[in-house]
A and B are shown apart, each in its own frame.
Chain A
Amino acid sequence: MTTVETQLFQTEQEELISGSEAIAIACALADVDVITAYPIRPYDTVMQYVSKLKADGVFDCDFIVAESEHSQFEIVKHASAVGARTFCGSSGVGWFYAFEAITVTAGLRMPVVAMVGNRALDDPGAFGTEHNDALAVRDLGWMLYWVATAQEALDIALLSWRVAEDPRVLLPMAISCDGSFLTHSQAIVNVPTSEQVRKFLPPYDRGKLQLHPDNPITIAPQVNEDWLMEIRRQSDEAMHRSVAVIEEAYADFKKTFNRGDPSAFIEEYMTEDAEILIVGMGTLALPVRVAIRRMREAGKKVGFVRIKFFRPFPTEELQRVLGGVKAVCVIDRDYSFGSPSFAGVLFHELRSTLYPLEKRPLMLNFIAGLGGREIHTNDVNHMVDIVQKAIDTGKIEQEATWIGVRE
């Protein structure tokens, strides 16, 4: 193992890096043209490493530290319009401060790739992870992915540009990384060569949509009700098309880099013959997998489905996997106050997903790990006990339960 600076990208190598650092390296591998930044924890770990790579001379890009998150996202939007490959990101309320720019980026079909270092929304000021920040773009035309390991962060960043910039898609993509667990812990990561990445990732070509003196166009004129629905329908179609593009790109990814899951959209763990399936996103996969291994040893038929792509949502795959089980145990590291079940966002998405099935499993929701509170294996056992009780009695006493909250 060597330091990143000396031999980066010539040969495949191992690095001891965080998820944020992995994404910064992906930026260098993908030869991103314009990166904008504005510090907020925990996302700032990406910009620190990008500036280090740039200062060390291993990566050349326009690195612009803006005066706010709003400008940061505006700048990459414009850069993307002229044909630059772009990257930016933020966390928590910083992400929200950029929201006007975030919505127009999707509306204008700019394939910006952003990292969201998941952080609780203020107030109260808190640094720990919560998924509500990234989830806020779920209705806007952003593709949205939840990462569980530093390796996956690097891999999915590479996939993001490939999918987002595909002429059939041209939608922005956000990579969600749990603050602390991914952004601040260093794990062993395999870093591919520039050569491999070049083979996988073609140059960004906006074609006739590129803003250039040789291609005089106007972008984003004001429209009224006689235009808007058609424009929205186009975005809807692009999101539809993204599903096949993701499948195609992921298959190619696995061939090029020799790693990856069977599905681009979900990860299945011990789902075969499972009677109870736990569903969740991000790094909570780790304690959940460990808890399941122990439960399996005790003869309990429990499995886990990690949702990777939240947008586009893997409806059919989830219907196939979750359809036959007795109960689905949804863990939300988020909340949706006043929602139909006073429960989490993921829970409602899944209930909507499973509603058309003839045989619907019992569904229970657990709000856990807010603000970065750890979800322990004991918490997972506790959830499964509650679910088992519902199965045994055929009755759900409470749809959403808060786990680990001090009563």
Chain B
Amino acid sequence: MSTVAVEVVYRGIFQKSLARNIVRNIVFAARKDGKIGTAFGRYGDSPERNGIPAKQFAVVADNAEELEETLAQYEPTEVDVTINVDDTLCKGVESWAWYGLQPINQLTKPGGTLIVTSRQDADSLIRDMHQKDSPIGLSILKSTVSFSGLWVYKDDHTDVRVLGNLCNVCPQLVSLKSMLETIREQTGSETKVASAQKAYDTATIRQVEPGEGNPEIPYSFVLPGWKEMQEGVVIKAIEAGGGFRGGEGGYQPVRNEVFKKYSTRSMRPVINFETCIKCTLCWLQCPDTCFDVTPDGLYDANMESCCGCGVCEAVCPVPDCVTMVGEAEFEDNNSQWEMWQKDKEGYNSWMTLLVDKQKSETRTHGFHHVGGYAEEIANTEEVS
């Protein structure tokens, strides 16, 4: 029996068309190889929310009966290839369907491959990924992460480059010949065919051994049985908050203990506590109530709760007081205010470094989208 399954992990809305192009073209190409396939998105992820991690799948089999065998378990429990089109998702996947935190490589089968579009190197990606007890391959497709919007698609060749790379790392899925023909038919672009071919030719795999990566056990939770649940579709409210981190001064709301938002964000706010004028706007406008009020009246973005929307940056009246910085820069979810308290000079220079770097980076999130594509395409080509 030969069934091959591929998942695409992507940011909802921003990368929906990208993911769809990838899974559909896999099935089209498989058809040319005389196989059969299906493509679908994880229903629990939709309707998609801006930037919230989501998944689409492609399953290819030699014949209809084999395909049925695989689909009897509708959402695959393991895949041959995981394609991650946003490298910050290497930290894990929290879909809004509330499955807890899934490691990026959770479904990647032993000996399978994880393809990541990224400008980071293998070491920094592996640092983000959770450890697995079996080896997998990591194939980095050098690329600026491709984000677009609900009604627009950034046609920067990421889809065809991923497909070319995929044919190299998973030759049992579909042949390169069929894939290139499919791309030609679907897009009518020889440039895209060439992009796919180049990605195929230059693909590399680096083995990730058991024990490599983030040793943390991802948080999880147990769902209650029907006898334990309150009747009448009633859930108890979360209690009101209290002082900052259990202290007397300040204020911190009590938050849902089993719904963190670590990986729902691709960027996070970095706060300049020196220039903050305590105007309260970030705290008021944050749709996720993520700001804790410190005893000295400052606002500390709590990373358990921040979904990275960037509203705080947008409403802050002080230049560079709140700056959204790409998630790849961070390795923990610790309090920035506490870091600043401990070592103000150290914090300020770290912050300045990040803010300056951000200015030269092209990473964007939902609020930074309009019109920014032209430069990014050039950038992608340069990187590739």
Q: A residues engaging B (CB < 8 A)?
A: 1-3, 14, 16, 41-42, 123-124, 127-128, 179-181, 184-188, 286-287, 289-291, 372, 374, 376-377, 405-407
A185–B31 touching, CB < 8 Å: no
Of all A-B residue pairs in the complex, the 8 with the closest CB atoms, nearest first, are A185-B40, A180-B43, A290-B72, A287-B72, A406-B225, A186-B39, A124-B233, A407-B225
Q: Name which residue of chain B comes closest to A123, CB basis.
A: B233
**Inter-chain contacts of B41 with A (CB < 8 A):** 184
Q: Contacts of B225 on A, CB cut-off 8 Å?
A: 406-407
Closest A-chain residue to B182, C-beta based?
Answer: A1
Q: Give 30 CB contacts A-B under 8 Å.
A: A1-B28, A1-B31, A16-B24, A16-B27, A41-B47, A123-B233, A124-B233, A128-B43, A179-B43, A184-B40, A184-B43, A184-B46, A185-B38, A186-B27, A186-B39, A188-B31, A286-B68, A286-B71, A286-B72, A287-B72, A287-B73, A289-B72, A290-B69, A290-B72, A374-B74, A377-B73, A405-B226, A406-B224, A406-B226, A407-B226
- Number of B residues whose C-beta is below 8 Å from A? 28
**Closest chain A residue to B69, Cβ basis:** A290
Please tell me if the beta carbons of B68 and A14 are within 8 angstroms of each other in the complex: no
Contact residues in B for A289 (Cβ distance below 8 Å):
68, 72
State whether A181 touches B74 (Cβ < 8 A): yes
Report if B223 contacts A (CB, 8 A): yes
Given A16-B27, A184-B46, A374 and B39 touching (CB < 8 A)?
no
B186 contacts partner chain A, Cβ-Cβ < 8 Å? yes
In the complex, the chain B residue whose C-beta lies closest to that of A290 is: B72
Let me know if B40 and A186 touch, CB within 8 A.
yes
**Contact (Cβ within 8 A) B28 A291:** no
In the complex, chain B residues 2-46 whose Cβ is within 8 Å of any chain A Cβ: 24, 27-28, 31, 36-41, 43, 46
CB of B185 closer than 8 Å to a CB of A? yes
Partner of B186, one of A3, A42, A123, A287: A3
| Bound-complex Cα distance A258 to B31 (A) | 21
Contact between chains at B38 and A376 (CB < 8 Å): no
C-alpha gap A58/B163 in the complex (Å)? 30
Question: Cβ of A407 and Cβ of B40 under 8 Å apart?
Answer: no
Closest to B65 in A: A293
Structural contact, B43 and A186, CB atoms closer than 8 A: no
> Is B75's beta carbon under 8 Å from chain A?
yes
Looking at the complex, which one of B38, B74, B227 makes contact with A187 (CB distance below 8 Å)? B38
Q: When chains A and B are docked, how far (Å) is the Cα of A407 from the Cα of B223? A: 10
Chain B residues, Cβ within 8 Å of A184: 40-41, 43, 46
State whether B68 touches A407 (Cβ < 8 A): no
State the Cβ distance, A333 to closest chain B Cβ, in Å.
14
Q: In the complex, A376→B69 CA distance in Å?
A: 11
- Residues of B near A41 (CB, < 8 A) are 46-47
Question: Which residues of B are found within 8 Å of A287, using beta-carbon distances?
Answer: 72-73
Inter-chain CA distance A185–B224, complex, in Å, is 30
**Which residues of the other chain, B, contact A185 by a CB distance below 8 angstroms?**
38-40
- Tell me which residues across on chain B come within 8 A of A2, comparing CB atoms: 185
Q: Which residues of chain A come closer than 8 Å to B68, judged between CB atoms?
A: 286, 289-290
A127 to B185, CA, bound (A): 36
Cβ–Cβ contact A374 & B75, under 8 A: yes
A166 to chain B, nearest CB (A): 33
How far apart are A149's CB and chain B's nearest CB, in angstroms? 10
Chain A residues near B72 (CB-CB < 8 A): 286-287, 289-291, 376-377
Residues of A contacting B69 in the complex (Cβ-Cβ under 8 angstroms): 290
State the CA gap A3–B37 with chains docked (Å).
17
B24 to A, closest residue via Cβ: A16
Decide: B36 and A16 in contact? CB cutoff 8 A.
Answer: no
* Complex-state Cα separation, A376 to B24, whole angstroms: 26
Question: Which residues of B lie under 8 Å from residue A372 when comparing CB positions?
Answer: 43
Min CB–CB distance B310 → chain A (angstroms)? 28
**A124 — nearest CB in chain B belongs to which residue?**
B233
**A123 CA / B234 CA spacing, docked (Å):** 11
Of B37, B41, B43, which is in contact with the most chain A CB atoms at under 10 Å from its CB?
B43
A82 and B226 CA atoms in complex are apart in Å by: 51
Name the distance in Å between B32's Cβ and chain A's nearest Cβ: 8
Closest CB-CB distance, A374 to chain B, in whole Å? 5
Residues of A within 8 A of B28 (CB): 1, 16
Which residue of B has the minimal Cβ distance to A288?
A: B72
